[in-house]
Amino acid sequence: MKWPRILRWSWRILVADMLKIAHINSGYGDVQVLRDVSLEVLRGEIVSVIGPNAAGKTTLMRSIVGLTRPRAAEGGGIFFEGRNLDGLAPEQIVRLGITIAPEGARIFPDMTVLENLYLGAHALKDQRRIKGLLDRVFRLHPWLADRGSQLAGTLSGGERQMLSIGRALMSDPKLLLLDEPSLGLHPVVAEHVFSAIQAINQDGVTALMVEQKVAFSLEISARAYVLENGSIAMSGPAAELIDDPHIKKAYLAL
């Protein structure tokens, strides 16, 4: 069925880019890591960036949240809901609606589960809003409600990862960045984490995830990008990439 032009334009507005990255280069000092990288994330999607170690995946995430300053060609840059993020401090980017759950489940081990969660809401002032966010986290991860007074350092690896993601959700993000959410986890535990990411997405949070467990990440993603040697080597619908011969050979050992 071919939609009338006005409906096609209405649909484009509805699913307009939440995040658009256009022709950025990034790195550390004289070391260039990302080379002319472009990608987009539409509202409501889960999008994955896959690739080998040292491909630049974490540098990409750091560039989005302002921890690393990218350079862009004229007209390029990192845009969130149409706004150029160039020059914004990380805390300003968080207030716009982007939050990252960093690699390695970086929680505060000497603080309780509840204290870790409240840290995620440090920029919010409305106590009713904070309470609502806490209720959402507990709805998504019910076990956290029972362990509020437990020291975070006593949690298992999978539990720490879920706490890290829960803390990120406490800032009420529109876009959640997930940096290697399955790193170091047993496959069964990793599967549980990916299921939780799907539930978060169904609750209205858009997600961009960098991940080495390719089969898991492609299974839950709408689209994916392949980052190799700092550049986008491939992109497309996740369901198509998972059947691509290069992906099967390089990442799925098939």
Q: Which pLDDT tens digit goes with each residue over 101-111? A: 988 778 999 99
> For position 9, what pLDDT does the model report?
35
Query: Left (φ > 0), alpha (ψ -120 to 50) or beta: where does 109 sit?
Result: alpha
Return the DSSP state at 29: T
Q: Is residue 26 in some structural domain?
A: no
Nearest in space to 55 (alpha carbons), one of 78, 26, 86: 26
Who contacts 153 (Cβ-Cβ below 8 Å, separation ≥6)? 107, 109, 110
% pLDDT > 70, the chain: 93
Domain membership flag for residue 79: no
Amino acid at 243: D
Domain assignment of residue 93, given as a range: 44-66+87-251
Domain presence at residue 11: no
Helix axes of 113-120 and 157-169: crossing angle, nearest 10 degrees: 30
Read off φ and ψ for residue 53, nearest 5 degrees: -55, 145
How many structural domains compose the chain?
1
pLDDT digits (tens, 9 = 90+) for 165-206: 999 999 999 999 999 998 888 888 888 889 999 999 999 999
Quick check: is 34 in a domain? no
| Residue 57 in this model has a pLDDT that exceeds 80 | yes
Report the SS3 class of residue 80: strand
User: What's 57's domain CATH number?
Assistant: 3.40.50.300
